[in-house]
A and B are shown apart, each in its own frame.
Chain A
C-alpha cells in the first residue's frame, strides 16, 4: 500500500527581549547557574507575574508576519504539571485565547525531480508562554542539577496545521519560518543555543484517505537537518510497523541523533492532565485594531515580497532571488553590492559560487565576511569593465579575503591589469605563432582545436593577464593572413 505522511510542527522560539516574560531578570545566555533569577521566575511563595510589554508586541509582530488573526482579547492560563525544571508546578501559557489565531506560511523547495515547488502551510496559532529551567544530568551520579536561568524566558509557540507531507517540506517550513523571524529581528533562531526548538507530530495514512492516523510526537532534535532526518526516520518506522501489522500508538518519541532513530519515552505520558485554567494573577489584555496597525507599520519588508522585488529589479531567476531573500543577511549583502554598482547578475553569481565557497571553507557567516559588499562590488566592476578577466578575479578574491585589501589595490600591486593594448597582444601572438609551428600548421590544415591551444599559450605567457577575447581575435587574424 502507498502511504502519505501527515506532519505538523510545534516550534518554540525565544522572543528577543532584554528581560523575562513576567519579571525583570535578564534573558542573557551563558550566565552562572541560577544567576538570572528572582522570586518571580523561581516561583517563590507570594511572588506574582507582570507581563513584559515588549514580549507581547513581538508576539503580535510575528503573528502579523505569519498573517495570523491577532486576537482582540487575550488571556493567560496555567498549565499544571510537576517537573523539577518547572518552579511553580505550572507554566503560564495561553490555552483558549492565544494572541495569534490562524495564519499561513509560504514554503518553497525543490521536489525529488528538482523542480521548484511552492506551498502554503496553515498556522493554527502562535501563543506566548514562559520557558522552563534546564536540567543537567551528565557526570552527576546521584542526582540531577537544576538551573533556572531560562525559567520565565519568553517563548512564542508556533503551531502549524498538519499540512506538511514530506521531510523536505518540513525542512523548507523551518527555513522559511527562520527567515521571517530573522527579518523581524525577533530571534536568531539558533537551535544549539535553544533559541528555537521544534517538535514534530507525525502520522501516516493510506494515500487517498482523509481522516488522520495516530500520531507520534517527536522531540529532541537540535538542528533543522535533524528535524528532517527524524521525520524521515519516523515515517519509515510507521510505514514498516503498519505493513508489519502493528498498530501505531500515540506517544512521545525522542530522536537519537547518534543512532539516527527515534525511541519511545515509555513513560506514563497519557496520564498527563494539565488542568488548564485562567491565570488569576494576570489580568486580561485587549489589543485595539489601531495598535495592530501601528505594529504592522513596523514590519520590515518580508522575504516573500523581497523575492518578488529582486526578481523584478535585478532580473534574477526566481530561485536565486528566493535563495537570497530567504537569508536576510545574505540578501542585505547582495543588495549593498548592487547598490555599489555591481552588475546584479554577476553579483549573484559571485556571491553564490566564489564568496560562499570561501565563507564555507572558513565557517564564516556572511556578516563576518572579510570582503565587504563594497569590495566585492569593486571586484565585479573590474571584471565588467574588462580590467581583469574572470580567471584573474578568481585569484584576486581569496587574496582580498586574506588581506582585506580592495580588488583595485591588489590589481595595482601585482600588475594584474588585463592586457588590452592590441600592439602588445600582437607582439605576443607573433611570439607564440613562431614558437608553435606545428599547431599553426594543424590549424591551417583545418584542426580548429589548435586555436584553443594557441590562445592558452598566450594566456600562459601573459600570466592570465591577456584579454582572451582579444587574443583570440588577433590570433585568428594572423593565422588567416598567413594562409
Chain B
C-alpha cells in the first residue's frame, strides 16, 4: 500500500477513516512500527489483534477507529501495563483508565503501549527496563522523557497520536526534543484514574500530536469530570477546536525574564525569541514579566514530587501483583522484590522521598517545599493579572546524547527547569516546534496559561504553528 497513511495527522486520519474506515491506517501504522521500532524503540507492546478488528463503523464516532498509542503507565484492562519497570512485569490491570474509556468511547483504537522512563522518573527515556528509546531526528540522541516513547512515535509517524503523562515536563520536554506538539492540561482537567501515580499532586495525562489541531481534538475526547477522581474538575469542557482561529491580536503574552538566563543553548534562545517576535508581528502584545521564584522550582519539585512518589511506590511489595523476588521470609519478600524490581533512578527517588518525609526532616524539607510551592504559584497568579499567556523555552537545550546526563542526576533534573513550574502551579502548558538547531534537532516553544484556559493556549500555538509550518518537517528515518 503506497498511501503512507501513517503520515497523516489525526485530523486527516479521522477524515480518511470516516470515509474509508481505519483499517488502512492501522495497517500502515503497523508497518511503520515494524520497520522503525527496532531502531527507535518507542513501543514496548503492540496489540496485533486490533489491526483489523473492524469494530468501528466509519463516521459513526469522532475517531472512526483511528489508532491512539498509550504511554505504558496508563492502565488498559487485560493488557500488561508496567511503567517500563521490572517490578510491574506481568502486571495486567483489571480495569481501564478513565481516559482510555473516554478515547474508546470516542471511537479511538487503543493501539500499542509506549516506552518511558521507569515510573516516569527521568527526562531522557533511558531508564526503561525495555532499553532506551531514541530520538528519530538523531538516533544517538535521547527523545527526552519521561514520555519519550510517545514523542518519538508521533515524530517518526509510528503513531497518529499518542498520550503521555506530565509530572514535571514529561510530555512537553520530549515533545520539544522530538519536534511534536505536547500538552500538559490544567491539573484536574483530565482524570488521573488509571494513571499509575508518580507525583499525585502534579501528574496529568495529556496528548502528544503532530499538530495543535490534533492536540485540541485529543483533549476534546480526554477532558471532563470523572467521579472516580476526587481531584477532577467539574467545569464544563468547551470544544477546543473552536479556539483555532489563527488570530492572536490583542493577546497579552509575557516573557518571564527568569526563563531567559545563562546556560541556555543559544540556538534555543534565538528560536524562542524569534517566536515572540513573530507573535508580536501577528498582533500579540509581548511584554516582559517576572516570576521571581523560578529558580527554586526544581528544588521544590525534587522534594515534594519524590515524597509523593516514595509513598505511591510503597505498594510494589510483591504481595498482590507484579514481581515477587523472594518467598523465603516476609522481610525477604519486601526487600528482595523492591531491590531487584526498581532501577537505580527509582531507588534514588524513593530514598530521597522517604527521607524528606521522615521524622525530624519533614518540616525542613517536605513542608518547606510545599511552602515555596505557594510562592511559585503566587508568581503565576500575579503574572496572569498582567498577561494572558506566558512564553518561554520548553527545555534549555535540544536533544542531548544518550548517556550524556545519565551519570549526573542533578544535571538531568535541571533539564526540566522550564517545565516544572507549570506542574507546581497546576497550570496548563503546551510545547510547539519553533525551529531547528544547526545540528538539525527540534526546538520547542512553551506557552503557559491560566488554569482551565487551554483554549487560549491552543489559539496562540495554532496561529504560530500555521504561520511557521515547522510541523511539516519530518525526521529522515
Contacts and interface: CB of A to CB of B under 8 A. Distances in A.
Nearest to B192: A48
A47 B74 CA distance: 11
Given A84-B319, A280-B200, A90 B195 contact: no
- Judged by DSSP, the binding face of A is loop
Interface residues of A, number: 29
Interface stretch (B260-268, B353-361, B414-422): B353-361
Interface in B339-394: 354, 357-359, 362, 366
B228 A48 contact: yes
A283 interface: yes
B314 A82 contact: yes
Contacts of A146: 319
Interface in A37-64: 39, 42-51
B94 A44 contact: yes
A89 B317 CA distance: 8
Nearest to A85: B319
Contacts of A276: 357
B75 interface: yes
Nearest to A142: B327
Given A44-B93, A45-B88, A46-B75, A275 B357 contact: yes
Interface string A253-283: 0000000000000000000010111001111
Contacts of B37: none
Contacts of B320: 42-44, 87
A46 B194 contact: yes
A78 interface: yes
A80 B193 contact: no
Interface residues of B, number: 43
B358 A273 contact: yes
B308 A280 contact: yes
A328 interface: no
B315 A87 contact: yes
A280 B307 CA distance: 11
B93 A45 contact: yes
B357 A277 contact: yes
A88 interface: yes
Contacts of B61: none
A46 B74 contact: yes
B97 interface: yes
A45 B334 contact: no
Contacts of A280: 199-201, 231, 308
Nearest to B330: A84
A47 B193 contact: yes
Contacts of B94: 39, 44
Contacts of A282: 230
Interface of B: 74-75, 81, 83, 88, 91, 93-95, 97, 192-197, 199-201, 227-231, 307-308, 310-311, 314-315, 317, 319-321, 327, 330, 334, 354, 357-359, 362, 366
16 contacts: A39-B94, A45-B75, A45-B81, A45-B93, A46-B193, A47-B194, A50-B230, A80-B311, A80-B314, A89-B311, A275-B311, A275-B354, A277-B366, A280-B200, A281-B230, A282-B230
Given A39-B95, A277-B308, A277-B362, 9 more contacts: A46-B74, A46-B192, A82-B334, A143-B327, A273-B359, A275-B310, A275-B311, A280-B199, A280-B201
